[in-house]
Amino acid sequence: MRLAYPVTFTPAEEGGFLVGFPDFPEAHSQGDDKAEALTEAVDCLEAVLAMYMRLRRAFPHPSRRRHGQHLVAPGSLIATKAALYLALAESGVSQRELARRLRVPASHVTRLLDPAHHSRLEQIDAAFAALGKRLAVSVERAA
């Protein structure tokens, strides 16, 4: 699943733009202009994904972008941890079982899934491998 979500822009009465996520009704942001609103939207998306991960909620599938909407994706660290979170949920493997497979304490897996913790890439790669997956990276043109 690609974690790029459409955002809507609504002119704010006091100027600037309000940003909304059709897939995350609880997520809102704003900016003085569209460029700033897009930057703030990335931060907002990262915060809502982190919240879903902490609450162990399923991410909604990104809806199709409509005319006038922009796609927003999280930064690479959050995207990688969110991908691990999704792979873990898809596999049906518990965090405790993943820790056993990695031969590490359960707290290690908790940190791997913590968006605020700066995990090392080789640790994340090992976690994907323990789930029978691998992390693939792509580079795209910036929006």
Q: Is residue 46 part of a domain?
A: yes
Q: Is residue 54 part of a domain?
A: yes
CATH number, domain with residue 61: 3.30.160.250
Instruction: Say whether both 36 and 88 belong to one domain.
Output: no
Q: Is residue 123 part of a domain?
A: yes
Q: Is residue 138 part of a domain?
A: no
Instruction: Say whether both 24 and 63 belong to one domain.
Output: yes
Query: Whole-model pTM above 0.85?
Result: yes
Which residue, 57, 72, 87, sits at the end of a domain? 72
Number of domains comprising the chain: 2
Instruction: Say whether both 59 and 81 belong to one domain.
Output: no
Which residue, 26, 53, 72, sits at the end of a domain? 72
Quick one: three-class SS letters along 24-48? EEEEEEEECCHHHHHHHHHHHHHHH
For residue 36, what pLDDT is reported? 95
Instruction: Say whether both 55 and 110 belong to one domain.
Output: no
Q: Is residue 110 part of a domain?
A: yes
d(CA 39, CA 104): 37
For residue 59, what pLDDT is reported? 96
Phi/psi at 8 (5° precision)? -110, 145
Find the domain containing 57 and state its range. Answer: 5-72
CB 6 within 8 A of CB 22: yes
Q: What is the residue whose two structure tokens read 């079982």?
A: 97
DSSP state of 68: T
Q: Is residue 139 part of a domain?
A: no
For residue 139, what pLDDT is reported? 82
**10-residue averages of pLDDT along the chain (143 residues):** 91 93 96 94 96 94 93 94 95 96 96 93 96 89 71
Q: Which residues contact 141 (CB under 8 A, 6 or more apart)?
A: none
Instruction: Say whether both 104 and 120 belong to one domain.
Output: yes
Q: Is residue 137 part of a domain?
A: no
Q: Is residue 37 part of a domain?
A: yes
Give the number of C-alpha atoms closer than 13 A to the C-alpha of residue 55, restricted to the C-beta side: 9
